[in-house]
Amino acid sequence: MSRAYLDHASTVPLRPVAREAMVAALTDLTGDPGRIHEEGLASRVALEQAREQVAALLGARSREVVFTSGATEAIAAAVHGAADRSRTRGLVDDEGRTHQVVTAVEHSAVRFDAERSGAVTVVPVDGHGRVEADAVLDAIRPETALVHVQWGNHEVGTVQPVAEVVSACRERGVLVHVDAAQAAGRVPIAFDELGADLLSISGHKLGGPAGTGALLVRRGLRLAPLLLGGDQERARRAGLEPVAALVGLGAAAQELTGTLLAEAERSAEQAQRIRTAVADLDGVTPFGDPHHRLPHLVCVGIDGVEPQGVLLGLDRAGIAAHSGSACATESLEPSPVLAAMGVDAHRSLRMSVGWSTTDADIDRLLAALPVTIDHLRALGASLADGSG
C-alpha cells in the first residue's frame, strides 16, 4: 500500500512536468549558457525561458529574477547585500554595525544571517504567530539596512500583514525582504504590485527540484553579490547555472501559473478536514491564526505525549508528518516559533498537504492519529504507575 506523504511544508514531491523537463534538458542541453556557440546558446534560451516562467508565477519581470541554489542562499544574498549597501552609505550605529529588523517567527535562515550581519531587533508576535505592522515599523532605526517579514509561517501557517509592512517601509525609504518560501506556489504573489525590494523562494517547496531557488530583486536596486567569481546572472550571482535543474523549476512554475488557485482550494479543503477532525480529540490544541493562514498547513499541540512518539507511530501507519520541534538523536529542541507565540514549544505536530495529496491520505491520517495518541498516552500512564 502506498504511503501518505503529509509533509509538503518541508519539501514537495517533484512534479512530473518538472521531471520530464529535466530529463529532456539533461539529454539535450550540454553547453555553458555563457558561451556563444550553438550548444551554449541553446542552454541560454532554455535558462531564460525558465526565468520567464518563474517571473510569471510571481508577478515579476524576468530581469528581476536571480537564480540561486535555494531560499537559504537567496536570504543570505539579501541579508548581506543590504548590509553591505548600508555600510557603504555610512548607515551604521555607534559601534559601526548595520541594523536589521526581523519578526520573532522568521525562519532560522533569516534570523541567523541577520544576526551575523550586525545588530538585530526582534519584533514579537501574538499568540497566533502574527506580527503587528506598527510594531515592525517602530523597530526601524536611521541605520536600518533591511526589514524582514515572511509571507507565511513555515510551522503554523500564519500569514503576516506583508502588504502593510512593505508599503510603510517604502514610504520610509527602508529596504524590505519578504521570505516567500512557504507561500510561493500556495497563494498568488504579485511581486511588482507588492512593491517589495527583495523576495526569496525555494524551488523544492513548490514541486521543483531541490538545489534551486530565486531571489527577486526590484528593478533599479543594486546589491553586491554574495558569490563572487564569474559574471553569471548578470553579475549578480557567480557560478555556472544548473540549467537542467532550473528548467525543471521553470516547468513547475509554469504548471502552477495555471493550477495554483485550484490547488490552493483543494489544499484548504483537505487541511480543513484535518482541523475539524482533530478539534474533537482531547488535549489537542490548534496553533496559528484561524483567519490569516496558508491553505496547506495544519499545526497542533498534543498534551501528554512526546512528538517523536507521534511521528514514529504515524510513520508505522504509513504516514509522513513533522514536528515543529527539531528532533535529533539525543535531544529535542523546542520550536522557537512556538516559543515566540507563548505556547507549548515541545509537543507539536505539523501536517501539510500539496499537489500529490489524495483524500485517501487524509482518511489514513484521521484513522491513525487518534489511535496513535491513545496508545502513547496509555503507555505513558502505565509507565508512570509502574505497571508497564
DSSP 268-297: HHHHHHHHHHHTTSTTEEEES-SSSB-TTE
What is the C-alpha separation between 202 and 54, in angstroms, rounded?
Answer: 11
**Angle made by CA atoms 92, 111, 240, in degrees to the nearest 5:** 90
C-alpha cell at 337: 516559533
Question: Could you list the active site residues?
Answer: 327
**91: exposed, middle or buried (C-beta count within 10 Å: 0-12, 13-18, 19+)?**
middle
- pLDDT at residue 334, as a whole number: 82
Exposure string of 45-80, with b = 16+ CB inside 10 Å and e = fewer, is ebbebbbbbbbebbebeeebbbbbbbbbbbbbbbbb
Q: What share of the chain is helix, strand, coil (3-state, %, to 5)?
A: 45, 20, 40
Q: What is the pLDDT of residue 379?
A: 85
Q: In sequence order, what are the beta bridge partners of 187?
A: 184
Tens-of-pLDDT digits for all 388 residues of the chain?
Answer: 689 999 999 999 999 999 999 999 999 999 999 999 999 999 999 999 999 999 999 999 999 999 999 999 999 999 999 999 999 999 999 889 999 999 999 999 999 999 999 999 999 999 999 999 999 999 999 999 999 999 999 999 999 999 999 999 999 999 999 999 999 999 999 999 999 999 999 999 999 999 999 999 999 999 999 999 999 999 999 999 999 999 999 999 999 999 999 999 999 999 999 999 999 999 999 999 999 999 999 999 999 898 899 999 999 999 999 997 554 444 457 889 999 999 998 899 999 999 999 999 999 999 999 999 999 998 877 776 665 5
Q: CA 128, CA 125: separation in Å to the nearest integer?
A: 8
DSSP helix/strand/coil, 362: helix
Burial label, 173 (beta-carbon count in 10 A; 0-12, 13-18, 19+): exposed
What string of H, E and C letters represents the secondary structure of 154-192?
CCCCEECCHHHHHHHHHHHCCCEEEECCCCECCECCCHH
Q: 213: which DSSP letter?
A: E
Looking at the chain, which runs of residues are DSSP E strands? 4-5, 65-68, 98-103, 118-123, 144-150, 176-179, 198-202, 213-217, 284-287, 297-302, 319-320, 326-327, 332-333, 348-352
In the beta sheet, which residues pair with residue 184?
187
Give φ, ψ of 362 to 5 degrees: -65, -40
In this structure, the chain runs to a length of 388
End-to-end CA distance of the chain: 32
